[in-house]
Amino acid sequence: MVDDRVNAMAAEMSTLGPCEFHFTPTSMLRAVALLQLAQRHPQLDENHRRFIVTFVEHARGFFASCPTVLAVITEGDRQAEAPLRVHYRTRGSHVHCRVFVRASAEASALAGEMTFRLEEWPTVRALLGDPIDDDADPAGSPGF
């Protein structure tokens, strides 16, 4: 059923010409910011990533005479930098995690706890990426 819809959409769209948008400068900057945020999603595929990069590059051309706007767009290019740490401990058939997130340098760290079945842990770990403290002993952490 999904393949039928994909094929039907492809056939329908093949009859259309290019789509043209006209953005106000503010709307263009908002679209860039939203796409840069979307680009940080861990499951974004390469086709969508290329679309975002192309869109943002066109926006840079539009804002070529606006150095402050270009600086803000460049800041948005950086990968998510919210400090995130994950401490974990295996207990029997489960992995208990304590996640620490600091939204900004001025903010206090927020913490939350999650429990995963041991067989789920490799998938969860792959999604989290680098912020996992393998060598940290969370036993000293309050509530852990």
Higher pLDDT, 122 or 4: 4
- Tens of pLDDT, residues 117-133: 888 888 877 776 655 65
Residue pLDDT, tens place only, 74-112: 988 875 555 567 778 888 888 888 777 766 555 666 777
* Amino acid at position 72, single letter: V
Question: What is the pTM assigned to this prediction?
Answer: 0.52
Q: Give the model confidence (pLDDT) of 75-84 as tens digits.
A: 888 755 555 6
| Residue-level pLDDT at 106 | 59
Mean pLDDT (the chain) is 80
CA dist., res. 46 & res. 49, Å (int): 5
For strand 84-91 and strand 94-101, is the pairing parallel, antiparallel, or unpaired?
antiparallel
Where do the domains of the chain lie?
17-77, 84-140
